[in-house]
A and B are shown apart, each in its own frame.
Chain A
């Protein structure tokens, strides 16, 4: 069974631009969560989607948004990029909506110049 895939793997943007990252969960998984990983803050929860509905949101500004499609694929968008948004963005999928094993993708490394 294929794992979680994320595209693109690497991205370089400049301040003020916006970016869209994509995540395809493991086949059959309906929950997708997004995390930001930085050396200073570690892994921080961004948001979670289950059956196309956002169920949880972390403490990030409104510039960070996401959505989930009917096939469970998810995208996250960051608008008006700041230097501090440079990070590894990780997507995790799980079978059901709560307290399930979560499997991470390889991440998208975003660099903001």
Chain B
């Protein structure tokens, strides 16, 4: 089983739609969780950290369920500029950051 798993998509949604991505991780000792965004042929950039209590940043909401080892990202009111690959990232203290394979999102006009 891969350490971090994501549905690769693609998710094709119309502008204004709400879309949700899921991510599961296998290492129960994982401590830090993030969502990164990667545009085509560019470097990944941090979208948001994921906290146990859940957190929101504008149209983006991240949730963490430690018992199920599951992370989610919800995007409301999708914009064309949200089209990208969304990467789930897990970190264990003192160790490397493990990236999921990514979920591709295309927001259509």
| A and B co-occur in one complex | no
